[in-house]
Structure 1
Amino acid sequence: LLNGSKVKKGAVNTLGDVQLVFSQTLHNLSPQAEKCVNVLERNSGITRENFAYGIIALTAFYLMFGSEGHFVCDLICFIYPAYKSLRKIDQQSTKHALKWLLYWTIFGTFTLTDHFADTINQILPIYWLVKCTFCVYLFLPQTDGTNHFRDTILAPIFELLHHKPREIVSLFELQINRSNVEIPAKAVDSSTSPIQANIAKKVDVVRKAQIPVIFVIGAPGAGKGTQCAKMVEKYGLTHLSTGDLLRNEVESCGARADSLKKMMQNGELVPARIVLDLLKEAMSRATINGSRGFLIDGYPREIIQGEQFEREVQSPDLVIYFKADKKVLYERCMNRQKISGRFDDSSETIQKRLKTYEIASALVVDYYDQKGKLLQITSEGTVEDVFAIVETHLDKIISKFRG
């Protein structure tokens, strides 16, 4: 069933995402599984969703109260990952082999905590349920939990451990001194790190300015930069490209430049916290210098980024999504590479970036569509035709702030 599913992989961040992916998975089965499920639905009169919910509920109940909860838990956590691991070893796929190596490391770590399972279950019988749920989250292709766990939990720890003490001090000084603008100090929670406290004080300026914030999203080559240039020319907005901010950070040769460059060369998504901090600093500097609003290009890539931005800065007033056919996107990126010579625009990297974006973008687009803030535009026409559509909607947004 998992192998036959056509549902896109990607991080699942909210209950709504879980329900959406769950339903999509059940309706995008392999041909063999689809036949079996259709027969089951016809003969029983019960929908596949209700069948699935029932099986999950019974399994959860047994994991909590069944006499062989330990065995059932390990069976669920073992069969599919073992099958996929053997397949990847046979295919000699280094990237995916590393993913499954990390999974088995985490699974093995659980065997140490299994020793305390009886004690935990005497207090609250949830140990096997929690272990099973977490492992399923790690190995399901729809959640891509192992890679998400690596990027959000392990990568920052490893990066910190790899820095020498002097380099850590340099990173601290870089964050504090990146902006020469003086911001009036406010009381900050003593539990907040000095770096985050400094950024938090700066972003207050953005909130108080009450200026429009517009996200511009779309795959590489969708024409975001071209359209942003025209929007800047007409409306006087500040254009912030997350790609440019990251490349500038790499070129600064700071403490995290090497790790960022490696991620960008591999076509991987940069951790959300780094991107958000760079954005907040750039926005605070621009606001103090008189910015009349922001076009944030290439952001957010994941729902978690959008949620963090809304919590720590403000909600976007509009999200413009430029879309185009894959072939058009690839050709545009390759043509740009010939002109720009950017280190992250090689043929292999472009293909990986397009794939990475495709996986991550579907949930982001749906997230803002449900909020009623999404403007979806096909960008395969001329620059002028596409901008004419943009103007129609952006005029209304800008007029709310400027009268």
Structure 2
Amino acid sequence: MAALIRALRSSSSSSYYTNYFIRRSLSTAASTTAPPLKSEPFTPFMDTKGKHVQWVFLGCPGVGKGTFASRLSTLLGVPHIATGDLVREELSASGPLSKQLTEIVNQGELVSDEIIISLLSKRLETGEAKGESGFILDGFPRTVRQAEILGDVTDIDLVVNLKLPERVLVEKCLGRRICSQCGKNFNVANINVKGENGNPDISMDPLLPPPQCVAKLITRSDDTEAIVRERLRVYYEKSQPVEEFYRSQGKLMEFNLPGGLPESWPKLLEALNLDEYEDKQSAAA
């Protein structure tokens, strides 16, 4: 972990706030779409405490990678590190970087490599001080450059690429709500999308709030249809090279979500060969 922190630091040409002033704009690299590969069920390499789990979760905004990564983090006993959460924490702080991040997020663009690397470096350093070992990364790496930095200092066991049709992603993002009091996330969208080209139908029930939260629900400022679609467009352009990077190493597992959490969670555990592991953990609890 210490080697990863040092590499992340050295990848940035200067300090955290200097990067903010240097990097004023974002670049997008167009790429061709590679056909998805079907992966064999993955055999996780871990000891009883999950210390050998070094996984990455990829997926479009709104696909639910944070939810699944968080659940697996609890199951396996390793930290779930979401760069989106790190950005939101910084957004809630005061200072020039917070203002710049607000502008980037509201425009549906991606945060620069330098800022993400600096935020992640700080988070890993804090975790190391607490004795954390292993991780599930959510939202990093999102560029080949970041993937190369990560690969220079640690071996990623598996990259899980969660997938949903774009029309489902848009509905999910537009249905997201946050309780302004307790901070919990909910979703009011009731999704029923007919499958096309031989693909199955996708149904997702809303995740409704308890009565005490109903009157306190708010919508994220960046969850408008125009911004959501722009965010997806930018993600597709940036993600294809990263997917190919890990696909060429035989580490990419494409997972098409069959529905909401109740339908998808057991299928994901099965694909990861963790269904029996969860049963054992539940029995031991």
Q: Shorter-chain TM-score: which interval? A: 0.5 to 0.7
Q: Is the partner of 2:238 in helix, strand or coil?
A: helix
Bigger fraction of residues in helix: 1
SS of 1:256's partner is helix
- In the TM superposition, residue 214 of structure 1 has moved relative to its aligned partner by 1.0
Contact conserved, 2:19 with 2:114, CA < 8 A, in 1?
no
Correspondence 1:332 to 2:182: no
Q: Is the 8 A contact 1:212 1:317 kept in 2?
A: yes
Q: CA distance change for structure 1 residues 373 and 278 in 2, over 3 Å: closer, same or farther?
A: same
Change (3 A) 1:232 1:159: same
Work out whether residues 217 and 224 of structure 1, in 8 Å CA contact, stay in contact via their aligned partners in 2. yes
Give 1:267 deviation, angstroms: 1.1
Aligned counterpart, 2:266 = 388
CA distance in 1, matches of 2:125, 2:51: 13
Which of 94, 110, 134 is equivalent to 1:293?
Answer: 134
The Cα of 1:393 is off from its aligned counterpart by: 5.0
Distance 2:53 2:231 in 1: 29
The 1:161/1:277 distance shift into structure 2, 3 A limit, reads closer
1:245 correspondence with 2:86 = yes
Q: 1:316 aligns with which of 138, 144, 156?
A: 156
Amino acid at match of 2:161: Y
State the 1:228 CA deviation.
Answer: 1.7
The 2-side partners of 1:393 and 1:157 are apart by 40
Q: Show structure 1 runs of 5+ residues with no match.
A: 1-155, 163-208
- Residue 376 of structure 1 is matched in structure 2 by 254
Residue 302 and residue 157 in structure 1: after superposition, are their counterparts in 2 closer, same or farther (change >3 A)? closer
Q: Which amino acid aligns with 1:333?
A: C
For 1:322 and 1:247, how far apart are their aligned partners in 2? Answer: 22
Amino acid at match of 2:170: Y
Question: Partner letter of residue 331 of structure 1?
Answer: E
Identical columns (%): 29
Query: Scaled by the length of structure 2, what TM-score is found?
Result: 0.61
The question of whether the paired residues in 2 share the 8 Å contact of 1:377 and 1:386 is answered with no
- The letter of the residue matching 1:387 is W
Corresponding residue of 1:279: 120
After TM superposition, give the deviation of residue 250 of structure 1 in Å: 1.6
Greater RCO, CA 8 A, separation 6+: 2
| Residue equivalent to 1:99 | none
Taking the aligned partners of 2:130 and 2:91, their CA distance within structure 1 comes to 25
Q: Which residue identity is paired with 2:221?
A: F
Listed one character per residue, the Cα deviations across residues 61-106 of structure 1 (whole Å, up to 9, x for unaligned) are xxxxxxxxxxxxxxxxxxxxxxxxxxxxxxxxxxxxxxxxxxxxxx
The offset of 1:355, in angstroms, is 0.8
* Contact kept? 2:58, 2:159, Cα under 8 Å: yes
Q: Could you list the per-position Cα deviations for residues 32-61 of structure 1 after superposition, in whole angstroms to 9, with x for gaps in the alignment? A: xxxxxxxxxxxxxxxxxxxxxxxxxxxxxx
Q: What secondary structure, in the 3-state scheme, does the structure 2 residue paired with 1:342 have?
A: coil
- Distance in 2 (alpha carbons) for counterparts of 1:294 and 1:276: 16
Contact 1:222 1:329 in 2 (8 A): yes
CA distance in 1: counterparts of 2:136 and 2:19, whole angstroms = 32
For the residues of structure 2 that align with 1:286 and 1:226, how far apart are their CA atoms?
20
Deviations for 1:230-255, whole angstroms, at most 9, x for unmatched residues? 21231122111111101111211133
* Pairing of 1:29-68 with structure 2 (within 5 A): none
- TM-aligned CA deviation for residue 370 of structure 1: 0.8
> What letter matches 1:219 in structure 2?
C
Q: SS of 1:290's equivalent?
A: coil
Count of aligned pairs: 195
The one-letter amino acid paired with 1:350 is: V
Query: Is residue 2:221 matched to residue 1:343?
Result: yes
Structure showing greater radius of gyration is 1
For 2:158 and 2:134, locate their aligned partners in 1 and report how far apart those are by CA, in whole Å: 12
1:355 to 208, 233, 243: 233
Query: 1:377: Cα distance to partner?
Result: 0.3
With over 3 angstroms needed to count, the CA separation of the structure-2 counterparts of 1:373 and 1:349, relative to structure 1, is same
Letter in 2 for 1:327: R
- Correspondence for 1:220 among 61, 74, 77: 61
Q: Retained in 2: the 8 A contact 1:223–1:379?
A: no
| Residue 288 to residue 273, structure 1, CA distance change in 2 (3 Å) | same
Per the TM alignment, residue 337 of structure 1 is displaced from its structure 2 partner at its CA by: 4.5
**Does 2:100 align with 1:259?**
yes
State the distance in 1 between where 2:240 and 2:149 align: 18
- Unpaired segments of 5 or more residues in structure 2? 1-17, 25-49, 179-185, 187-217, 278-285
1:159 aligns with 2:37: no
Task: State the secondary structure of the residue aligned to 1:322.
Answer: strand
8 A Cα contact 1:276 1:309, kept in partner: no
Matched residues in 2 for 1:383 and 1:258: separation? Answer: 34
